[in-house]
Amino acid sequence: MESRFTPPRRLLLGPGPSDAHPRVLAALGQPLIGHLDPAFLALMDDVKRMLRAVFRTRNELTFAVSGTGSAGMEACLVNLLEEGDEAVVMVNGEFGRRMTDIVERCRARLVAHEIPWGRAVEPDDVAQAIAKARQPKLVAMVHAETSTGAQSPIAEIAPIVARSGALFVVDTVTSLGGCPVEVDGWGIDACYSGTQKCLSCPPGLSPLTFGERALEALRRRRSKVQSWYLDLTMIEKYWGAERVYHHTAPISMSYALAEALRVVEEEGLEARFERHRRNHLALAAGLEALGFRFVVEPDRRLWMLNSVYLPALASGRDEAQLRRRLLDDFSIEVGGGLGAFKGKIWRIGLMGESSRRVNVMRLLEALEVLLPDAGVTLRAGASLAAAEACA
Ligand SMILES: Cc1ncc(COP(=O)(O)O)c(C=O)c1O
């Protein structure tokens, strides 16, 4: 009996993780060194420099939290909030909702502003939310809401938050590396991301950056940060010049992130964004030719995450069966809906390495085979032609 786990070869077109670059996978297999080895400290400095470039920030405190994207979310909120502080959270999907949960666990006063799923957060929504609050310490929201496929205009929202005097905390887990994120240019005070989406690295680290105002708030705290593990007052001493041990850094994941960031640097951010945009447009044309309908209006659609309603299937057939056949027969993973969208939509990711024209075509070809079998009438080849016309 085979005692080793051998994962099946998949094409990852879901909401994350995305396919990792072979160089990133090779980096994971490099020999271990100590987390205070001069060579490792030099690697940490490289990671910080390259993360500043992708976040487009000069923030000194820019590093990778040990943990997935949720750890970055929690790190931002637990470090900035204390009992009795007020926090406005914009909720237009699952990840905004998750932020409200963390705010409550911080015993802060939560002002949650709900927006229908599938819609972006607009500047007026934020103005209304702030008007409901007394004096919020921070406003938090998600740039690219992975549960719905909506992208919110952070550049237009930031000045409204700035006028209120609140700190601006933004989740860029899905957007970073796939579309513009301008931490300094837009005026974001605290921002976090994840490695397994458009950076195309395995899940396990959460890039995070804190600006001057966020650092000031951290230094002015009246109480200790609730979480020992995520306490930035201690972690910054490990990632900064002092190199004081806090916890053992995930060595292999750091190799992988450094390599993933080098791949991003070599491609160039603008070229990478353009690749994501073009492949999204090709996929959108193909999906619409197959009868899928987008959840989000065109101007607010994410390039890296396409959320779509399926065409009507024959009775007795459902989206989960179709996804399973895509996985079993074509080895392609796409995501189902979360929360209110469960059973109703698909979430098709074109993130990082997965965002390739060849992958768009592979998915459309598979759907051209599977959909007629599920009772959908198609004009054979139409989706491929529609995608091809977007070249
Ligand atoms: C927008 C957003 N925020 C936060 C998270 C949580 O990240 P993780 O699952 O890596 O903890 C995700 C994960 O999909 C996400 O899409």
Nearest CA to 349 out of 245, 276, 270, 258 is that of 276
Mean pLDDT of 174-187: 98
Residues 79-97, mean pLDDT to the nearest whole number? 98
Measured in Å, residue 389 CA sits from the centre of ligand 1 at 33
Q: How far is the CA of 86 from the centre of ligand 1 (A)?
A: 24
Q: Is the CB of 193 under 6 A from ligand 1?
A: no
100 CB-side CA count, 13 A? 15
Quick one: angle between helices 357-373 and 269-289, nearest 10? Answer: 20
Q: How far is the CA of 39 from the centre of ligand 1 (A)?
A: 31
Tokens read off for 377: 């009438």
User: pLDDT per residue over 225-270, tens digit each?
Assistant: 999 999 999 999 999 999 999 999 999 999 999 999 999 999 999 9
Beta strands, E only, the chain = 11-12, 61-66, 86-91, 109-114, 138-142, 144-145, 150-151, 167-171, 190-192, 205-210, 293-294, 305-309, 332-333, 335-336, 345-349
Q: Is the CB of 172 under 6 A from ligand 1?
A: no
Please report the pLDDT score of residue 1 as a whole number.
Answer: 63
- Given ligand 1 and candidates 73, 91, 95, 100, which is best to mutate, with the most ligand atoms within 8 Å of its CB? 95
Mean pLDDT, rounded, of the chain: 97
* Cα–Cα distance, 32 to 48 (Å, whole number): 20
Cβ of residue 142 lying under 6 Å from some atom of ligand 1: yes
Q: What is the pLDDT of residue 93?
A: 97
Contact between 151 and 93 (Cβ < 8 Å): no
| Cβ–ligand 1 contact at 148 (below 6 Å) | no
Please write the tens of the pLDDT for every residue from 204-229.
Answer: 999 999 999 999 999 999 999 999 99
**Which amino acid residue places its CA nearest to atom 8 of ligand 1?**
69
* Per-residue model confidence (pLDDT) at position 340: 87
- Is 257:337 a contact under the CB 8 Å cutoff? no
Nearest CA to ligand 1 atom 2: 173
99-103 average pLDDT score: 98
Burial of residue 383 (number of CB atoms within 10 Å: 0-12, 13-18, 19+)? buried
